[in-house]
Amino acid sequence: SQQGEEDPQALSIQEGENATMNCSYKTSINNLQWYRQNSGRGLVHLILIRSNEREKHSGRLRVTLDTSKKSSSLLITASRAADTASYFCFLMDTGRRALTFGSGTRLQVQP
Amino acid sequence: DAGVIQSPRHEVTEMGQEVTLRCKPISGHNSLFWYRQTMMRGLELLIYFNNNVPIDDSGMPEDRFSAKMPNASFSTLKIQPSEPRDSAVYFCASSSNRDRGGYEQYFGPGTRLTVT
């Protein structure tokens, strides 16, 4: 079930800059999670934000959630070349249906 | 813990053959997810089990695909008959989901399937 989308599809920045990617959805959620995938590997969990939370931090990551706009953003501050990867959002809706979104955002951090 | 284990890691088969992909979730996890990833379609959720029961199989593309979870430590995804368009990387993931909240998923290394 894919009922949302990430944007942009691709993002290229210089090392040290901030990267922002967005996730929009159409249903009511229990929580929203962001994952990272390096080329050819499985996804790795980054951060989870619950529906009653508005912002969460983990190291250089900041996630916001606006349930009224049904959107979330992932901010990576002071990016590094090692942050180059694809980023996906995943959410569990209130009916316990699991939803994940297509191609993700492909981030390229130039050294 | 060894993490999520998938087998085989690579599978090459001819069109029309049956393919069985296997997954062993992390011990103690009660949710299991099967995903398919291709360049064209991106990452697709195929099916999701909770406590060995399929909760949402709306992502299963067609009747040629079936998934089972006979016990908490094993799941299979079967394609019969396989077609070239089934070529993809298939990921299995598990998580601990003992209330209505969904917790982080741990992904296996994937099975790269090529159907010729």
Taking the Cβ of residue B102 and every Cβ of chain A, the question of whether any pair is shorter than 8 Å is answered with yes
pLDDT at B1: 64
Select the more confidently predicted residue: A1 or B59: B59
- Which chain B residues touch A43 with a CB distance below 8 Å? 43, 91, 93, 105, 107
Say if the Cβ atoms of A97 and B50 lie within 8 Å: no
pLDDT, average across residues A66-94:
92
pLDDT tens-place string over residues B33-82: 999 999 888 888 899 898 999 988 888 988 999 999 999 999 999 999 99
Q: Tokens 């070529």 label which residue?
A: B87
Calpha distance A26→B71 (Å, rounded)? 33
pLDDT at A1: 45
pLDDT at A100: 72
Contacts of B87 (CB under 8 A, 6+ apart): B38, B113, B114, B115
Q: DSSP character for B25?
A: P
Burial grade of B32 (CB within 10 A; 0-12, 13-18, 19 or more): buried
Residue B43: which of A50, A98, A104 has the nearest Cβ? A104
Residue positions counted in chain B? 116
pLDDT tens-place string over residues B84-112: 999 999 999 999 876 555 678 899 999 99
- pLDDT grade for A96, boundaries at 50, 70 and 90: low
- Which chain A residues touch B46 with a CB distance below 8 Å? none
pLDDT at A30: 83
pLDDT at B16: 97
Burial grade of A78 (CB within 10 A; 0-12, 13-18, 19 or more): exposed
- Which chain A residues touch B104 with a CB distance below 8 Å? 33, 45, 48
Q: DSSP character for B12?
A: E
